[in-house]
Amino acid sequence: MIRMVDLKTQYEHIKADIDQAVLEVIASTDYINGPAVRQFQTELEAYLNVEHVIPCANGTDALQIAMMALGLKPGDEVIVPAFTYVATAEVIALLGLHPIMVDVDPNTFNIPVELVEKAITPRTKAVVPVHLFGQSTDMEPLLDLARRHNLFVIEDNAQAIGGDYIFADGRRQKTGTIGHVGSTSFFPSKNLGCYGDGGAITTPDGDLAQRLRMVANHGQSRQYYHDVIGVNSRLDSIQAAILRVKLKHLDAYVAARQAAAAYYDAAFAELPQLATPARQHNATHVFHQYTLIVREGDRDALRQHLADKGIPAMIYYPVPLYKQGAFSHYWAGGTLPVTEQLCQSVISLPIHTELTPAVQDQIIDGVRSFFA
């Protein structure tokens, strides 16, 4: 059976280490804030080369805690891509802030700095670049724009952990560590996934790190003293122990995804009906998703054709944010042409760390036969 993501085979390869790590936590009874959480935090700080990692319960919480700790106030505007997962905008609305949705680049699917600039008003306080499908937003011009307009840059790094952004001077930085604050998710199918829910916030700023920790922990500065309104958002010790094992494999997992993507690319190069994922010169792509654009032909018919052959494919994302019922009243009307086009033409094929050329050949044959 072909799966979008094969967590079972991945687990079988690391079973001995995972089982031992989980059983150790169970035996220790340190289920909440046990040593594994602190150890994972330190190891992730080293991996990302960032001063502070604040573990939390999931990637959506990570975004919410970031916005709370930055002191964003009801009515403040936060710029987000219209082509993204709902979590990005959801927490903005939940906090009484206004999500301002902008169109994306037709090749990279990320927000171009020119469109962000056009959306800035006197109420704009932050921008959330989403490194969609595993490739960094072009951060250098965005940081520059943010500096000039006094905006916070909150990176939604849920899909791109392990990726690099490359500055004009050649300096490389891990995605999620470039803005004022970054958020990520350890949802099982993410590039660094645990076996339940998990997330983290990253920041180079010590004062902000302290506020983030406080907000994530009931607004508490020391036990039973609550200085600000907070939330309860923790990474479980068991999940941290699993993530410690998997973090050691993250670079190999990224390489496996990149190899699978290159294999698809080579096969689809000869099909003019499809556009393969664009690669930026100034970022690595960690392929959380392998997303094609169907240039000619019916995307939904292709998906059905594949399904009939037992090949799964997903549409990330079928509906622009502003057309979602929950967000329509944040929208003045009109459409964003690239987002509209992408929602109708993208299709994501299976990609994961255990994909073999033999399975990819089956998937590729399925796609080819649709256009034959």
Residues forming contacts to ligand PLP in the complex (CB under 6 A) are 58-60, 84-85, 87-88, 130, 156, 158-159, 185, 187, 197, 199
Q: How far is the CB of 103 from ligand PLP (least distance, A)?
A: 17
Nearest distance from residue 158's CB to ligand PLP, in Å? 3
For ligand PLP, which is the closer residue by CB, 58 or 173? 58
**CB 291 to ligand PLP: min, Å:** 13
Distance CA 154, CA 66 (A): 8
**Burial of residue 359 (number of CB atoms within 10 Å: 0-12, 13-18, 19+):** middle
Of 179 and 199, which has the nearer Cβ to ligand PLP?
199
b or e along 197-230 (b: 16 or more beta carbons within 10 Å of the residue's beta carbon)?
bbbbbbbbeeebbebbbbbbbebbeeeeeeeeeb
> Quick one: which H or E segment has residue 265?
helix 250-268
| CB 297, min distance to ligand PLP, A | 27
The residue (of 88 and 284) whose beta carbon lies closer to ligand PLP is: 88
Q: Rank residues 135 and 360 by Cβ distance to ligand PLP and give the closer one.
A: 135
Nearer to ligand PLP, 88 or 217 (CB): 88
Tell me whether residue 238 or residue 271 sits nearer to ligand PLP (CB atom). Answer: 238
With contact defined as beta carbons under 8 Å apart, do 79 and 65 qualify? no
- Min dist CB 366 to ligand PLP, Å, is 26
* Cβ atoms 306, 275 nearer than 8 A: no
Can you spell out the DSSP letters for 33-57? Answer: S-HHHHHHHHHHHHHHT-SEEEEES
Contacts of 227 (CB under 8 A, 6+ apart): 214, 219, 220, 221
In angstroms, give the least distance from the CB of 221 to ligand PLP.
26
**Which residue has the closest beta carbon to ligand PLP?**
59
Which residue number, 129 or 366, has a Cβ lying nearer to ligand PLP? 129
CA distance 180 to 63: 12
Nearest approach in angstroms of CB 81 to ligand PLP is 9
Tell me whether residue 148 is exposed, middle or buried, using C-beta atoms within 10 angstroms of its C-beta: 0 to 12, 13 to 18, 19 or more: exposed
